[in-house]
């Protein structure tokens, strides 16, 4: 019995403590309102002027409720001078809202969190910011507010109408070849996750184990750009060297990716529909556009081989003369369409990358660039011995193509996609004359190299064993 009394009095004490804490919270906004009231004039500064007067001001909670936008914002409980011209230049939270954006987006119709995020119902500044408290949608830093405009407006229209960073971010996204690994609007590679809804991800959907700063989506994204492997160990994403302005633009653009969040129809201005129309009108993309969006990030112009320091490997010269005159169109289509599983060369066929059939044809035609091939005239080498081939391989090839055709800086020869589409003549010719402009040198005696036709035959026999089922039908 005594035990119960002790427990009960502890509970009462705790409840009392909570009440005291709560009431000090309550006074936070009251104090702001009292201070605001003391800043208001008791008579209009000029005769006939309509303005808020101290004696008419009531101390009470204020809020904007907009069910259509699921908004119940008490921000104006503290931000009292939002539309008061006398509060231009006053200290926060009393200062008039910057610019005239509240004229076209009145508080009664839009609230505040529609653009700023943050916890609308909160009546303390800490809870309203929602950063160190448990809240899914913390207040955006001012420089990133432009990310909210894209939910209702067309990104290109916004470039001249209040959100230039959004358009800049969209351009950077294409220039940096992000699409070669990420899908957006259905189009792109598959190495990384699709980004259509990355702007809706809440802090608990990111891992902050290796992030040093604030637990907000934008801080995660910023730290991830600078050091993807530091934030997501074993990530395949190369670090991005952005200037501060580019970083802000990129963050604004990513945070605006909210495909699953569409504002109610009455909130969508005409320009929104322009963007839909533009998207459809620009498809199908040309081969060159697709190459620049999807391939250039890794292959460069494709005319020469290039060593990529991040991936620590060679990127094949897929638009070089020798490759194009010796590879069949079927071979090229298969490599692009199916990729090279086990390497960073992903599949870009229509089912994987979102290209239409027409676009895939255009891309292949652009890569081929009109070069005429004579793959069917390439001589197969004499039949050889895989055992002898293996010895030759270890001596001449392993350094670049890796043990048993895996993991070198050159192409992965232990690849089903490669071996199924490559004829003996094509493999032999790649060895005989090499690929000018790349690290792959000519190996045939006739081209100044060390290997006889028979030895090349042994090598082809060995390479065929590197992947099960690795033979053309
Ligand atoms: C309890 C009062 C209070 C409430 C409620 C409140 N704010 Fe504030 N707000 C402040 C104060 C005080 C500052 C100035 C903070 C500073 O300078 O450190 C501020 C600053 C800001 C700033 C300036 C940028 C920044 O990060 O410092 C923005 C934007 C802002 N508030 C938006 C909002 C929004 C949106 C809401 C509603 C979700 C809101 N505030 C709710 C008191 C409040
Ligand atoms: C239509 C979008 C939109 C709405 C709605 C909106 N804001 Fe803003 N707000 C902005 C933008 C954009 C800026 C930055 C303007 C600039 O930098 O010139 C801003 C700036 C501010 C600032 C100054 C921030 C700073 O760092 O100086 C405060 C405070 C603020 N808003 C509070 C509010 C409050 C409170 C509400 C609701 C009454 C509100 N805003 C509604 C878009 C909006
Ligand atoms: C919830 C949807 C929504 C959001 C978010 C939003 N807007 Fe708007 N905006 C509108 C609507 C609706 C109108 C009114 C259009 C009309 O009157 O035809 C408008 C009007 C405007 C206008 C005036 C257009 C004109 O023709 O006079 C500008 C400029 C503008 N918005 C810029 C912005 C910027 C910048 C942001 C982000 C800070 C933003 N908007 C965020 C829906 C939105
Ligand atoms: C070579 C491929 C590659 C390129 C190029 C690339 N990424 Fe990534 N990205 C990845 C991979 C793989 C991940 C998943 C692992 C991780 O979190 O780092 C990722 C993760 C991300 C994430 C986190 C998404 C989420 O939901 O967790 C974002 C955002 C992102 N990338 C944006 C970009 C942007 C923007 C660019 C262009 C500047 C870009 N990436 C370029 C491969 C790439
Ligand atoms: C993330 C980097 C990356 C992207 C993006 C990429 N590739 Fe590749 N690609 C490679 C690598 C690496 C290889 C060699 C793979 C191997 O080890 O076999 C390769 C191989 C190829 C090959 C076979 C070359 C040969 O020598 O047989 C073709 C053709 C090709 N890519 C075309 C493309 C096209 C077209 C695109 C754009 C749609 C593209 N690639 C996008 C990295 C990439
Ligand atoms: C110095 C590094 C290096 C050495 C040594 C080397 N290769 Fe290569 N090899 C490459 C590179 C890089 C490529 C991709 C060339 C390109 O850009 O198309 C390649 C391409 C090839 C291809 C065409 C693969 C494809 O995906 O189309 C074959 C076959 C090949 N090498 C076989 C060999 C054989 C057999 C040897 C040994 C006799 C050898 N290579 C030695 C670097 C090397």
Ligand 4, atom nearest to 297 Cα: 5
| Bigger pLDDT: 469 vs 212 | 212
Report which protein residue has its CA nearest ligand 3's atom 31.
104
pLDDT in tens, 186-219: 999 999 999 999 999 999 999 999 999 999 999 9
Report which protein residue has its CA nearest ligand 4's atom 13.
192
- Tell the residue number behind the tokens 């006739």, with chain if given: 446
Distance 362 CA to ligand 6 centre (A): 28
Q: Which domains does the chain have, with CATH numbers?
A: 57-139 (no CATH), 144-277 (1.10.760), 285-473 (1.10.760.10)
Site to substitute for ligand 4 among 210, 237, 256, 312, most atoms within 8 A of C-beta: 237
User: For residue 4, what pLDDT band results from cuts at 50, 70 and 90?
Assistant: low
Structure tokens at 104: 């076209």
DSSP 281-313: HHPSPPHHHHHHHHTHHHHTTSSS-EEETTTTE
Ligand closest in space to the Cα of 462? 6
**Across the chain, what does the average pLDDT equal?**
93
Structure tokens at 388: 């002898």
pLDDT exceeds cutoff 70 at 265: yes
151 Cβ below 6 A of ligand 3: yes
Distance 286 CA to ligand 1 centre (A): 48
340 Cβ below 6 A of ligand 5: yes
The proportion of the chain whose per-residue pLDDT surpasses 70, expressed as a percent, equals 95
Distance 410 CA to ligand 6 centre (A): 6
What are the C-alpha distances in Å from 114 to residues 2, 180, 255, 273, 321? 54, 32, 13, 20, 55
| C-beta atoms surrounding 100 within 10 Å | 9
pLDDT exceeds cutoff 80 at 300: yes
Distance 193 CA to ligand 4 centre (A): 7
408 Cβ below 6 A of ligand 3: no
pLDDT exceeds cutoff 70 at 385: yes
Distance 105 CA to ligand 3 centre (A): 6
Distance 411 CA to ligand 6 centre (A): 6
* CA gap 447, 431 in Å, rounded: 10
* CA gap 187, 179 in Å, rounded: 7
Peptide bond into 422 cis (omega under 30): no
* CA gap 260, 201 in Å, rounded: 11
User: For residue 134, what pLDDT band results from cuts at 50, 70 and 90?
Assistant: confident
Do residues 317 and 438 make contact, with C-beta atoms less than 8 angstroms apart? Answer: yes
User: For residue 468, what pLDDT band results from cuts at 50, 70 and 90?
Assistant: confident
Report which protein residue has its CA nearest ligand 1's atom 24.
142
* CA gap 293, 278 in Å, rounded: 18
């Amino acid at each position: 019995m005594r035990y119960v009394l002790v427990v009960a009095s502890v509970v009462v004490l705790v409840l009392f403590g909570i009440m005291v804490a709560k009431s000090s919270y309550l006074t936070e906004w009251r104090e702001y309102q009292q201070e605001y009231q003391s800043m208001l004039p008791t008579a209009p500064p000029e005769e006939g002027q309509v303005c808020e007067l101290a004696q008419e001001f009531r101390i009470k909670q204020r809020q904007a409720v907009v069910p259509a936008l699921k908004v119940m914002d008490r921000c104006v409980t503290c931000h009292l001078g939002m539309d008061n011209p006398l509060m231009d230049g006053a200290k926060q939270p009393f200062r008039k809202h910057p610019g005239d954006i509240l004229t076209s987006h009145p508080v009664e119709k839009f609230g505040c969190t529609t653009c700023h995020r943050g916890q609308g119902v909160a009546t303390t500044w800490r809870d309203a910011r929602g950063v160190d408290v448990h809240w899914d949608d913390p207040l955006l830093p001012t420089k990133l507010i432009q990310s909210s405009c894209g939910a209702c407006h067309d990104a290109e229209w916004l470039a001249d109408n209040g959100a230039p960073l959004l358009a800049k971010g969209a351009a950077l996204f294409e220039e940096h070849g992000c699409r070669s690994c990420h899908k957006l609007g259905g189009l792109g590679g598959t190495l990384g996750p699709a980004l259509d809804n990355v702007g809706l991800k809440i802090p608990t959907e990111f891992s902050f184990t290796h992030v040093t700063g604030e637990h907000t989506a934008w801080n995660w994204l910023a730290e991830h750009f600078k050091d993807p492997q530091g934030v997501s160990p074993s990530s395949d994403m190369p670090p991005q060297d952005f200037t501060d302005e580019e970083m802000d633009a990129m963050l604004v653009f990513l945070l605006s990716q909210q495909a699953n969040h569409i504002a109610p129809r009455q909130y969508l201005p005409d320009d929104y529909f322009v963007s839909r129309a533009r998207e459809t009108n620009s498809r199908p993309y040309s081969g060159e556009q697709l190459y620049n969006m999807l391939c250039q990030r890794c292959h460069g112009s494709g005319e020469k081989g290039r060593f990529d320091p991040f991936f620590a490997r060679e990127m094949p010269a897929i638009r070089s003369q020798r490759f194009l005159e010796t590879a069949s169109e079927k071979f090229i289509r298969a490599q692009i369409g199916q990729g090279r599983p086990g390497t960073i060369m992903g599949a870009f066929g229509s089912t994987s990358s979102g290209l239409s059939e027409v676009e895939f044809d255009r891309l292949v035609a652009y890569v081929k660039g009109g070069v005429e091939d004579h793959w069917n005239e390439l001589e197969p080498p004499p039949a050889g011995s895989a055992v002898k081939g293996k010895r030759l391989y270890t001596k001449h090839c392993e350094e670049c193509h890796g043990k048993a055709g895996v993991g070198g800086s050159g192409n992965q020869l232990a690849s089903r996609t490669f071996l199924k589409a490559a004829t003996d003549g094509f493999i032999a010719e790649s060895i005989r004359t090499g690929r000018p402009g790349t690290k792959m040198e000519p190996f045939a005696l006739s081209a100044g190299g060390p290997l006889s036709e028979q030895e090349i035959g042994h090598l082809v026999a060995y390479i065929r064993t590197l992947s099960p089922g690795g033979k053309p039908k």
